């Protein structure tokens, strides 16, 4: 926020206390934003342990004040009185309620940063729903990944909701990629249509639907489907032309987007997952690659990928739609 912005967080007298950001993951793309936030507000990042839902590994040092802790230590950190506000993401079954109750104990503002835009139907989440609703209603502000998330949060009583669009490091992803190098790494020549998928090989990402669609297409010499983030051990026998490219360095992934004739985000809705955004869309667009996404992708629901305008949007889970 700007220096004169009345929405700035309270500073109090004397030495300014930092804002505590509680999260389980700091990917490289988030570093510039953290630096800007630290310069504007003064922050400390509490990085807790737990399961990751991101394909991109986190950085060892985010370049701002930080500490690592167990989820059970979050309450003590947020209740310590050492911070003038607390921001917590929607991840962390223990960390989120611990951050909320800790902020309440310290009597400082609590900001809820969320990408949830559909019900999560696992037994653990169903049991925790009353607690999550209390956090949504009780947060002093809600920071939503996009308008789709903001609408969902408001429907559960969230107030003071602000859309904080998902973004990537535009300086990095807009640098010219090397399509020739990307195709050479895949063993491909200069000709042929190249479809690219980038993501984890987990059920909600829709890799199996994408492979079903690829199998339905008539084989054409030189055409290829590159699966970045997917190893040969992650999938069964691949159809002709499909390549498990494995986990790629950011530079190699940028080259691959530049080489792509189409980038596909085939996510599907599951009981445990609904794609909050899909930063692949941002990254691919910055390389000028056309994007096809399903309607279970947050970037489509949130308005970045608009059918017939900025990309193609098809029904989730429908292999036939991916081939047309």
> Which two tokens mark 252?
């190699």
Q: Among 103, 136, 163, where does a domain finish?
A: 163
Are residues 175 and 263 both part of a single domain? yes
Q: Which residues contact 299 (CB under 8 A, 6 or more apart)?
A: 146, 166, 265, 275, 277, 278, 279, 281, 282, 293, 305
The reply to whether 90 and 218 lie within a common domain is: no
Domain count, the chain: 2
- Read off φ and ψ for residue 195, nearest 5 degrees: -100, 135
3 within domain boundaries: no
Q: Are residues 294 and 204 in the same domain?
A: yes
Which pLDDT value is given to residue 236?
83
181-185: long-range contacts (C-beta < 8 A, 24 or more apart)?
A: 181/255, 182/252, 182/255, 182/256, 182/258, 182/259, 183/259, 185/245, 185/252, 185/255
Here the CATH number for the domain that contains residue 59 is 3.40.50.2000
pLDDT tens across 122-174, in order? 999 999 999 999 999 999 999 999 999 999 999 999 999 999 988 899 999 99
Asked if residue 138 and residue 32 are part of one domain, the reply reads yes
pTM for this model (two decimals):
0.90
Structural contact between residues 207 and 228, judged by C-beta atoms closer than 8 angstroms? no
Of 125, 146, 163, the residue at which a domain comes to its end is: 163
The ranges of the chain with pLDDT < 70 are: 1-15, 50-56
By CB neighbour count within 10 A (0-12 exposed, 13-18 middle, 19+ buried), where does 12 fall?
exposed
Residue 105 sits in the same domain as residue 212 = no
Helix (H, G, I), strand (E, B) or coil at 291: strand
Is there a single domain that holds both residue 158 and residue 177? no
**Residue 124: which domain range?**
19-163
pLDDT of residue 51: 63
Does any domain span residue 56? yes
Quick check: is 14 in a domain? no
Q: Are residues 68 and 136 in the same domain?
A: yes
Say yes or no: 235 and 260 in one domain: yes
Q: What is the pLDDT of residue 8?
A: 56
Whether 13 maps to a domain, the answer reads no
Q: Is 258 inside a domain boundary?
A: yes
Within-domain flag for 129 = yes
Q: Which two tokens stand for residue 103?
A: 């902020």
Contact 65, 95 (CB under 8 A): no
Q: Identify whether the C-beta of residue 32 lies closer than 8 Å to the C-beta of residue 172.
A: no
310 and 180 in a single domain? The answer is: yes
Residues 186 and 291 in one domain: yes
In a domain, 8, yes or no: no
Contact assessment for residue 115 and residue 267, using Cβ atoms and an 8 Å cutoff? no
56 and 152 both lie in a single domain? yes
Give per-residue pLDDT as tens, 126-136. Answer: 999 999 999 99
Q: Do 80 and 35 lie in a common domain?
A: yes
Q: Taking the alpha carbons of 197, 199, 203, 205 in that order, is the dihedral positive or negative? A: negative
163, 189, 215 - which closes a domain:
163
In a domain, 108, yes or no: yes
């Amino acid at each position: 926020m700007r220096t004169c912005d009345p929405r700035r967080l309270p500073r109090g007298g004397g030495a300014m206390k930092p804002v505590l950001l509680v999260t389980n993951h700091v990917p490289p793309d988030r570093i510039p934003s953290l630096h800007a936030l630290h310069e504007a507000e003064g922050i400390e990042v509490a990085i807790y342990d737990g399961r990751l839902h991101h394909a991109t590994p986190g950085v060892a040092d985010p370049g701002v004040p930080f500490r690592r802790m167990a989820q059970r230590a979050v309450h003590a950190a947020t209740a310590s009185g050492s911070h003038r506000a607390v921001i917590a993401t929607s991840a962390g079954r223990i960390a989120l309620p611990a951050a909320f109750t800790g902020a309440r104990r310290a009597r400082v503002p609590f900001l809820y940063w969320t990408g949830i835009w559909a019900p999560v139907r696992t037994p653990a989440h169903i049991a925790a729903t009353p607690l999550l609703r209390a956090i949504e209603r009780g947060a002093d502000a809600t920071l939503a990944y996009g308008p789709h998330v903001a609408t969902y949060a408001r429907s559960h009583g969230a107030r003071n909701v602000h859309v904080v669009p998902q973004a990537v490091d535009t300086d990095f992803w807009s640098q010219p990629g090397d399509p020739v190098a990307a195709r050479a790494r895949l063993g491909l020549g200069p000709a042929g249509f190249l479809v690219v998928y980038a993501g984890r090989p987990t059920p909600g990402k829709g890799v199996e639907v994408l492979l079903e669609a690829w199998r339905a297409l008539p084989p054409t010499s030189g055409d290829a489907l590159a699966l970045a983030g997917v190893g040969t051990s992650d999938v069964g026998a691949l159809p002709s032309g499909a390549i498990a490219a494995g986990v790629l360095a950011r530079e190699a992934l940028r080259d691959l987007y530049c080489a792509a004739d189409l980038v596909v985000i085939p996510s599907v809705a599951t009981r445990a997952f609904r794609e909050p955004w899909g930063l692949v869309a941002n990254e691919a667009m910055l390389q000028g690659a056309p994007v096809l996404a399903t309607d279970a992708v947050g970037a489509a629901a949130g308005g970045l990928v608009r059918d017939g305008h900025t990309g193609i949007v098809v029904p989730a889970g429908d292999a036939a739609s991916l081939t047309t």
